[in-house]
Amino acid sequence: MRTVLCDTLGIEHPIVGFTPSEHVAAAISRAGGLGVLGCVRFNDPEELDAVLDWMDTNCDGKPYGVDIVMPAKVPTEGTQIDLDSLIPQAHREFVDNTLRKLGVPPLPDDEASGAGVLGWLHSVARSHVDVAMKHPIALIANALGSPPADVIAQAHRGGVPVAALAGKAEHAVRHVDNGVDLVVAQGYEAGGHTGEIASMVLIPEIVAAVGDRVPVLAAGGIGSGRQIAAALALGAVGAWMGSYWLATKEYQELSSAGTLQQALVRATSSDTVRSRVYTGKPARLLKNQWTQAWAAVDAPAPLPMPLQNLLVSEAHQRMMRAGDPSVLAMPVGQIVGSMNEIRAVADVMTELVDDLEAALTRLDELRGL
């Protein structure tokens, strides 16, 4: 199955895979999709540069892309110390008390507290673009909509198309008006930052709004070939998948993946929640004791981006370190209910492609073909 997306991106299958792991991203690209590496975790541009060097030698010459997180509105800039002073003491106490109640130990003495995610500051996201443009990337995607005009222009000067995620048709129109080349229609089902309109409604709405101007990818809830077939039936030209790659062997190269994968494999499609506790903006997360604590009536309201993630950053680190699969902070979509075993990326890709063909064959049979 080839679509215009395959020609636009130079890939074999109409499947784009977003992942924070370079090992997963490279494996997706090697398997004929487009691996898209999430950059938001790289506070240090040099670290991203080194990882992209690794990508350049580990994708077997196949294309890959990068994903940045630039909010449409520029959030408060400043050093981390400036931002820290904006976090209310009561919020810090709530986090401390919650971790104590949940039995999450402090970090070991020899482990420094991470700096928290700064990748959604414009200055840091811009550094990601600057670094990525020095590499042979095939796509820059922005998780929070259109990047600024000069960033789009910078990408286009280098011949790199720009994708933007959209949770409403009006946002998709704005992105295309701003010069974005591909729109990712991301439904309510999706993990991470997501809107309220579900894929069945959102995808055809966005295709109707911008599908004659740019290719539209479908995101949110996709983890099988029959779902890719459904996305194509709705007018998309390919699928953008994120959560599903978390249950792969290649993801285990990231430390603490073991605890996380235990939690993912046991979760059902009912075990996620859309909440502001991870970043300050609504994002779908694994539902567990941590998210439930924030949903209690006496819990404080989450802080705006980027303060909320700075507030909970060390807590995330402590929970991941503690190794309890029932207490974790993890963005994941409703497709988690189908993530029931850990497989190699290449095997996942083969199954997706085979299941897509099988779904289309079933449709033929229904038509008596």
What's the distance, Cα to Cα, between the start and end of the chain in Å? 18
Burial class (CB in 10 A: 0-12, 13-18, 19+), 78: middle
Nearer to its own copies, 37 or 202 (CB): 202
Answer for the pair 182, 232: CB distance below 8 angstroms, yes or no.
Answer: no
Q: Does 234 bind its own copies (CB under 8 A)?
A: yes
Touching its own copies, residues 105-164 (CB under 8 A): none
Nearer Cβ to its own copies (110/365): 365
Task: Report residue 142 as tokens.
Answer: 């922005």
Binding of residue 301 to its own copies (CB under 8 A): no
Residue 235 Cβ vs its own copies, minimum distance, rounded to whole Å:
6
**Is 241 one of the binding residues for its own copies (CB under 8 A)?**
no
Question: In which element (H, E) is residue 308 found?
Answer: helix 307-322
CB of 334: closest distance to its own copies in angstroms? 4
By C-beta, is 14 or 116 nearer to its own copies? 14
Residue 332 touching its own copies (CB under 8 A): no
Q: Is 247 in the site for its own copies (CB under 8 A)?
A: no
Rg (C-alpha) for the chain, rounded Å, is: 20
Candidates 94-102, 123-131, 214-222, 249-257; binding stretch for its own copies (CB under 8 A): 214-222
DSSP one-letter code for 248? B
Site string for its own copies, 348-367 (x = CB under 8 A): -----------xx-xx--xx
User: Which string of DSSP letters, residue by residue, matches 49-79?
Assistant: HHHHHHHHHHSTT--EEEEE---SSPPPP--
Give the shortest CB-349-to-its own copies separation in angstroms.
18
Strand partners, 17: 35, 241
x/- mask, its own copies, residues 155-194, rule CB under 8 A, reads -------------xx-----------------xxx-----
φ, ψ at 235 (rounded to 5°): 110, -5
Which strands form 192-193's sheet, in the order they lie side by side?
192-193, 283-286, 272-275
Per CB under 8 A, contacts with its own copies among 2-41 are 2-3
Residues in contact with 184: Cβ distance below 8 Å, sequence separation at least 6, in sequence order: 16, 141, 163, 164, 165, 166, 216, 217, 218, 219, 240
When the beta carbons of 205 and 250 are compared against its own copies, the nearer one is 205
Minimum Å distance from CB 186 to its own copies?
11
- Give the Cβ contact number of residue 158 at 10 Å: 14
In whole angstroms, what is the distance from residue 271 CA to residue 275 CA?
13
- φ, ψ of residue 197 in degrees (nearest 5): -95, 125
Please, what is the minimum distance in Å from the beta carbon of residue 214 to its own copies?
A: 17
Answer for which of 139, 334, 345, 348 binds its own copies (CB under 8 A) is 334
Which residues contact its own copies by CB under 8 A? 1-3, 168-169, 187-189, 196-202, 204-205, 220-222, 224, 226-227, 229-235, 269-270, 333-335, 337-338, 359-360, 362-363, 366-368
